[in-house]
Structure 1
Amino acid sequence: MKARHKRLWFVLAGLAGLVLATWLVLNALDNNLSYFFSPTEVAERKAPADHVFRLGGLVETGSLQRGQEMTVRFTVTDNAHKVQVEYTGILPDLFQEGQGVIAQGRLNEQGVFVADEVLAKHDENYMPPEVADALQKSHQAGIAGTSEL
């Protein structure tokens, strides 16, 4: 085999390896991404039913229910729609009704969001940008009533 052919095979093998490595990295990133959705987007069926995603909004006042063991149920709202959330575990110290929350999990067959993780806002002046945008959009829409998912 001539030197030119060896070089060509070496370059082609290097490119194939680079393409494979790029594909593996992008595939791993896609599997680990967790997209954010508001209750309105969940109600409009924009959230994936088969993937983990983040749900953000306000914990509706009067919706917190403590069940058996460490199971907690509450409602997340963006003042336009509501989504029931079920979480088993210890809630963050700053978690309370009427405050911002982001929960990570997936929807079950009954349309209840089963959270694996719940994050409460950590500062009275802080609102995650996604939650603030969702609340502002629902406020601008001028929706007086709320509907439940």
Structure 2
Amino acid sequence: MKGLKKQRRIQIIILAFVAMGASFAAFYLAAPNALQYFRSPTEVAEKAPAPNETFRIGGLVEEGSLVRGQGAEITFKVTDTNATIPVSYTGVLPDLFGENEGVVATGKYIDGTFVATEILAKHDETYMPKEVIDALKDQGMYVDPNDAPATN
């Protein structure tokens, strides 16, 4: 009787591992672009990713770099104050998108330009994506808006 219980436990454990492996494989095959990496402009400039890799880049929209082209075509530069990467995007920009504002873009780095498929802008005057804050902190360029002196 003891041997039968032990054998049943081993079967259940093996079945659980097979089910976990199958669910992970199904997730990976169903959503290959769901696991997108964040990179700062400095990281992209130092080591350019493959042209077929989808990732997110974030930083500040460089002042004076925003150019609206024909129709919904827009180009601008994303900077982390250490490196600057040109971005092209075709589509409607978020209402709060602007120069010297935080932005995160999803897309691919092709021939020296980040071709964005999605643009996310900050949602209020103090918000900046965590990844962008971390990248700016790493370079010693981040100033917490709560610590900034008030201007009245």
Alignment TM-score, normalising by the size of structure 2: 0.76
Q: How does 1:81-92 map to 2 (within 5 A)?
A: 81-92=83-94
Contact 2:66 2:76 in 1 (8 A): yes
Relative distance call for 1:56 and 1:12 in structure 2 (3 A) is closer
**1:56-90 deviation per Cα after TM superposition (whole angstroms, max 9, x unaligned):** 00000000011112100000000000000000001
In 1, distance between residues paired with 2:34 and 2:50?
A: 14
1:99 Cα deviation after fit: 0.5
Return the structure number with greater relative CO, CA threshold 8 A, min gap 6. Answer: 1
In 1, distance between residues paired with 2:87 and 2:75?
A: 6
Contact 2:48 2:109 in 1 (8 A): no
**1:24-61 deviation per Cα after TM superposition (whole angstroms, max 9, x unaligned):** 14524554211110000101116453211110000000
Relative distance call for 1:92 and 1:18 in structure 2 (3 A) is same
Aligned residue type for 2:28:
N
Partner of 1:135, secondary structure, is helix
Match of 1:105 among 82, 107, 110: 107
2:45 corresponds to 1:43: yes
In 2, distance between residues paired with 1:44 and 1:66?
A: 28
Q: Which residue pairs with 2:145 in the alignment? A: none
Contact 2:33 2:54 in 1 (8 A): no
In 2, distance between residues paired with 1:19 and 1:136?
A: 38
Q: Which residue pairs with 2:80 in the alignment? A: 78
Uncovered stretches (5+) of structure 1, i.e. residues with no partner: 141-149
* RMSD, aligned α-carbons: 2.6
In 2, distance between residues paired with 1:63 and 1:136?
A: 23
Aligned length: 135
Percent of aligned positions that are identical: 48
Uncovered stretches (5+) of structure 2, i.e. residues with no partner: 142-152
Alignment TM-score, normalising by the size of structure 1: 0.77
Relative distance call for 1:138 and 1:24 in structure 2 (3 A) is same
In 2, distance between residues paired with 1:85 and 1:55?
A: 10
Q: Which residue pairs with 2:136 in the alignment? A: 135
In 2, distance between residues paired with 1:22 and 1:49?
A: 29
